[in-house]
């Protein structure tokens, strides 16, 4: 993997750098290529365009690692407003939401409303209820490995009332094959990605080859299982392998889907959709784009030059 990956991922958690670059408007070239807008209106307008082009969408109101209860509540409100607009615009059949539990309280110390885990669960319930009322679903994003147990526990609790809630599993974690087996049951929606955080070798595969082979093992479990796999990757080899595994396991189209991030390989997104596959675009929006952008730069350090140039010309 690139030598720049680890430093960039470390920077993604730096508050000082976050404060420095977050003054950049979202319209700056490199930010704009990954995050189409800051407002709900902009996110809904971009969703409508993607849906018109035959794609589905999952929207992420940007934010993470919140240590402020009021900010966590404001994030919940933003999702509730977004879901109401998606419903009003007739988009809810094609657009769901992705939620990071650390943005809605998971990282909080104990407060008058309980532990961070409890606050995140209560807040996630509000978002799931709003999604249910709008006629759509929620997927819980997965963050660094210290949060995996808590996130999967929140998922289990949510699914008692909202069984349509989806989860993300990261192939780079050693534990993930076992988690895939556990979640490959009927009615279970699982997004499989490679994993975007800087993880130690005690818990995660480090080489590209090891991560890719783990991804394929997980794909086999999910595609052979009874759930609804959401194959989140831009890697052409993984897309090809997933397609042939889907036929090998007798999966009809529509019993699984491909997912890609907004702005990455858009022509491939359209090609797959044109070939009859279900393709969902992950659409982040809002002012808190820093951590998200740094993870994208870590995946593709070639883009770093564009980013630094836009900072200098600010």
Residues identified as active-site? 141, 191
Q: Are 105 and 87 in contact (CB under 8 A)?
A: no
Determine the interface stretch with ligand FAD among 47-55, 101-109, 120-128, 295-303 (rule: CB under 6 A). Answer: 295-303
Determine the interface stretch with ligand FAD among 41-49, 80-88, 156-164, 293-301 (rule: CB under 6 A). Answer: 293-301
Q: Are 199 and 173 in contact (CB under 8 A)?
A: yes
Q: Are 104 and 75 in contact (CB under 8 A)?
A: yes
CB of 300 to ligand FAD, least distance (A): 4
Which 130-149 positions form the footprint of ligand FAD (CB under 6 A)? 141-142
Residue 154 in the binding site for ligand FAD (CB under 6 A): no
Residue 65 in the binding site for ligand FAD (CB under 6 A): no
Residue 245 in the binding site for ligand FAD (CB under 6 A): no
- Record the tokens describing residue 148, joined without a space: 């995996």
Residue 233 in the binding site for ligand FAD (CB under 6 A): yes
CB of 88 to ligand FAD, least distance (A): 25
Residue 264 in the binding site for ligand FAD (CB under 6 A): yes
Determine the interface stretch with ligand FAD among 88-96, 244-252, 254-262, 285-293 (rule: CB under 6 A). Answer: 254-262
Question: ∠ CA 278-134-227 to the nearest 5 degrees?
Answer: 40
Nearest residue (CB) to ligand FAD, 143 versus 164: 143
Residue 282 in the binding site for ligand FAD (CB under 6 A): yes
CB of 269 to ligand FAD, least distance (A): 10
Question: Given candidates 35, 83, 86, 168, which one binds ligand FAD under the rule CB under 6 A?
Answer: 168
Question: Given candidates 63, 105, 195, 291, which one binds ligand FAD under the rule CB under 6 A?
Answer: 195
Residue 268 in the binding site for ligand FAD (CB under 6 A): no
Nearest residue (CB) to ligand FAD, 162 versus 172: 172
Nearest residue (CB) to ligand FAD, 38 versus 141: 141
Sequence-distant (≥ 6) Cβ neighbours of residue 308 within 8 angstroms:
none
Residue 277 in the binding site for ligand FAD (CB under 6 A): no
CB of 29 to ligand FAD, least distance (A): 13
Residue ranges in contact with ligand FAD by CB under 6 A = 141-142, 168, 170, 191, 193-197, 232-235, 259-261, 264-265, 282, 296, 299-300
């Amino acid at each position: 993997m690139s030598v720049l990956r680890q430093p960039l991922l470390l920077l993604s958690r730096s508050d000082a750098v976050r404060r420095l670059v977050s003054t950049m408007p979202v319209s700056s070239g490199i930010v704009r290529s990954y995050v189409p807008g800051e407002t709900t209106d902009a996110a809904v307008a971009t969703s409508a365009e993607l849906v018109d082009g035959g794609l589905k969408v999952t929207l992420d109101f940007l934010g993470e690692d919140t240590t402020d209860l009021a900010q966590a509540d404001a994030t919940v409100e933003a999702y509730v407003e977004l879901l109401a607009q998606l419903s009003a615009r007739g988009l809810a059949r094609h657009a769901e939401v992705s939620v990071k539990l650390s943005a809605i309280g998971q990282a909080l110390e104990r407060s008058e409303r309980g532990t961070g885990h409890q606050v995140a669960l209560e807040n996630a319930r509000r978002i799931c209820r709003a999604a249910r009322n709008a006629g759509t679903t929620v997927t819980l994003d997965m963050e660094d490995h210290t949060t995996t147990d808590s996130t999967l526990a929140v998922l289990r609790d949510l699914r008692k009332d909202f069984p349509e809630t989806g989860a993300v599993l990261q192939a780079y974690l050693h534990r993930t094959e076992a988690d895939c087996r556990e979640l490959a049951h009927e009615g279970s929606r699982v997004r499989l990605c490679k994993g975007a955080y800087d993880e130690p070798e005690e818990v995660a595969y480090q080489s590209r080859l090891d991560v890719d082979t783990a991804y394929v093992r997980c794909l086999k479990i999910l595609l052979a299982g009874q759930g609804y796999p959401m194959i989140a990757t831009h890697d052409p080899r993984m897309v090809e392998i997933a397609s042939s595994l889907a036929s090998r396991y007798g999966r009809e189209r529509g019993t699984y889907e491909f997912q890609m991030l907004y702005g990455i390989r858009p022509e491939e997104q359209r090609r797959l959709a044109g070939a009859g596959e279900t393709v969902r675009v992950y659409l982040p929006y809002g002012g808190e784009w820093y951590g998200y952008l740094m993870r994208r730069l870590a995946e593709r350090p070639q883009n770093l030059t564009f980013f630094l140039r836009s900072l200098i010309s600010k």
